[in-house]
Amino acid sequence: MNTKKETIYGDVAFKAIKNWYLWDKDEKDAEMIAETIVDKCKLVNFETIEKGSAVFEEVAKFFNDSNLSDLKYGIGALNSIVSGLTIIDEKCDRSITENDDLVRKNLLTISGNKEIEEELKKAGERFKDINKNCIEKATANLVLDVLEKVHDRWVIDNTPKKFMQDSRKNKQYMHLPFECIGWKDVCLDLLFVEKMLEKTGLEINLEKIQEEYGKRQEEKFKEIYIDGLKTVETRYLESLNIDKERLKMTLSELENKDTLVNLYNLTQEKCNFSLPRGTFPEINERVRKALEMTGKVQSGEKSYLAKVLEQRLDGPTNAGSSYKEEDIEALYRKIEKADYMPVTDKEVLKNIAPGCTVFKTNLPGFLQVNDLDSLPDDATFYVTDVKDTGCFGIGSGSVKKERVNETYIILGNEEIDGKNEEIVYTFHPGKPTTASKQTVKETSEKLGRVIKNGSRLTKEEVKELGFSKVKFLSNEYIKQFDAMNNEDINI
């Protein structure tokens, strides 16, 4: 008796053993185990689909293999398949499967059941009729919709238990949205779906399903690029019907930087995702025009753009975060040709001044801004306004650097030749901090002494002025500032 062909689930069980657990046994052994699972299923009265989990627990005991107990989640997956087929026809306001309970109760029984086969066949005919002008694409997306429900059900059942197990760190990606698990895992989930969908008479075209899955992935990866993986995963988990305490535990784990890095790396490995260059062409053009306009703004003897570029070079003109480019021409080319995208991170946007716009790009550099409290009490601090904006920040040679992978660019308005034009206010590696609005005149009044660009301050004075962030200053700047301060003292 070739049991695996007699039931819908028999073939699933057979393939699952061979593909999921990769047992080092020949096909006959795997088939024998599949048949045993099916035989156990025959002994159960499936009044509700959930009772099927007892089958797999018994089979696991029979084989004395704890891994096999994971197959019990197949029950929840099959339940999700039924939900996935419950598609509403807007014309007649009914689901594709008219008798969901019938389908739900008979999925694991002999496929020769004429009643259920007839129901599935009708569902397929209705689906073909509704989507007759685009049946190949519609079928591919139906399969993906069903698989997404299977995936979501698995995440609900296994969050946070499996997500937080140290032994499963290399599988944490399985708790991400469906689009992030990768095509290989989608094909494994398809084991649950294909046999039942075959009964509908719909043709399963793997190439078309993969094509449509790729489109969904591109949209999800745009979301990840814009909002960040942590935000996307949090939003996904919150959308599921997960117990509040279990959800809270999982979200707290996402606060762990190592967890996020691991998730990101696993997703890249499974999906090899990257947005094509020029995904946001209108933003790229806007930045390039702003760079051009910035070159027309004078700041003392140099253009404002030249000062912004010089400030970012890792060398004698460095003030703040930096890049390794050799000269301002090379850095300009990098910034001009970068591929920019929107920023929706609320933590970033709250630091952007009204009227300004921020974009980001995947251009690495060195973040050289530290918290004031992290620096030594005896460190020396300086008033800095290297771009001659009239407002100043605080710099120090004691600031440490950290490599980061993203660059942020901030645009704002400036009057040029009688017109209001958009220019680049600044760009730098790492997330922006709130720009200072303090002027030297106000500060002089606060401290009761004359303050100017380069004036030395103590840590207590910096605190008194309300600053919490300090940016790096090159040795060359410090020498110039120290010489200026010594002259002031001698006078």
**For the ranges 62-71, 335-344, 470-479, which has the lowest average pLDDT?**
62-71
Mean pLDDT of 341-345: 79
In terms of domains, do 253 and 306 share one? no
Residues 318 and 299 in one domain: yes
* Mean pLDDT (whole number) for 125-143: 86
- Asked whether residue 188 falls in the same domain as residue 289, the answer is no
Q: Containing domain of residue 387, as a range? A: 281-490
Q: What's the residue count for the chain?
A: 491
pLDDT value at position 308?
Answer: 93
Together in a domain, 264 and 350: no
**Could you tell me if 290 and 211 lie in one domain?**
no
Domain boundary among 237, 253, 271: 271
Is residue 193 within 8 Å of residue 209, measured between CB atoms? no
In the block, residue with structure tokens 């989640």: 73
Q: How many CB atoms lie within 10 A of CB 312?
A: 25
Q: Poorest-confidence range of 45-59, 142-156, 166-180, 346-360?
A: 45-59
Query: The whole model's pTM is what?
Result: 0.52
> Is the per-residue pLDDT at 6 higher than 50?
no
- pLDDT of 456 strictly over 70: yes
Structural domain ending residue among the three candidates 271, 303, 319:
271
The pLDDT-based confidence of 330 (bands split at 50, 70, 90) is: very high
Q: What mean pLDDT is reported for the chain?
A: 77
pLDDT-derived band at 210 (thresholds 50, 70, 90) equals very high
Rounded distance between C-alpha atoms, residue 325 and residue 365, angstroms: 10
- Domain identity same for 360 and 211: no
Choice between 229 and 399, residue whose per-residue pLDDT is larger: 399
Q: What is the pLDDT of residues 253-309, one digit of tens each?
A: 888 878 887 887 788 778 776 666 677 788 999 999 999 999 999 887 889 999 999
Cβ partners under 8 Å of residue 406, min gap 6? 360, 361, 362, 363, 364, 429, 430, 431
276 lies in some domain: no
Q: Report the range out of 199-203, 422-426, 431-435 with the highest average pLDDT.
A: 422-426
Mean per-residue pLDDT, 222-234: 84
Last residue of a domain, one of 271, 292, 318: 271
Looking at the fold, whether 204 and 312 belong to one and the same domain comes out as: no
Contact between 158 and 247 under an 8 Å Cβ cutoff? The reply is no
Q: For a pLDDT cut of 90, what percent of the chain falls above it? A: 36
One domain for residues 452 and 355? yes
Under the banding of pLDDT at 50, 70 and 90, the label for residue 444 is confident
Question: Looking at the domain assignment, is residue 336 inside a domain?
Answer: yes
User: Got the DSSP string for 320-354?
Assistant: SSBB--SSHHHHHHHHHH--EEE---HHHHTTSPT
Q: Are residues 356 and 292 part of one domain?
A: yes
Number of domain units in the chain = 2
- Number of Cβ atoms within 10 Å of the Cβ of 108: 24
Residue 266: the pLDDT is 81
Distances (CA, A) of 456 to 266, 436, 437, 444, 463: 48, 17, 19, 12, 14
379/450 same-domain check:
yes
The pLDDT of residue 160: 83
Angle between helices 8-19 and 73-85 (to 10 degrees): 130
Residue 38 belongs to a domain: yes
pLDDT tens by residue, 43-101: 444 333 333 333 334 333 433 333 433 444 444 444 444 444 443 333 333 343 344 44
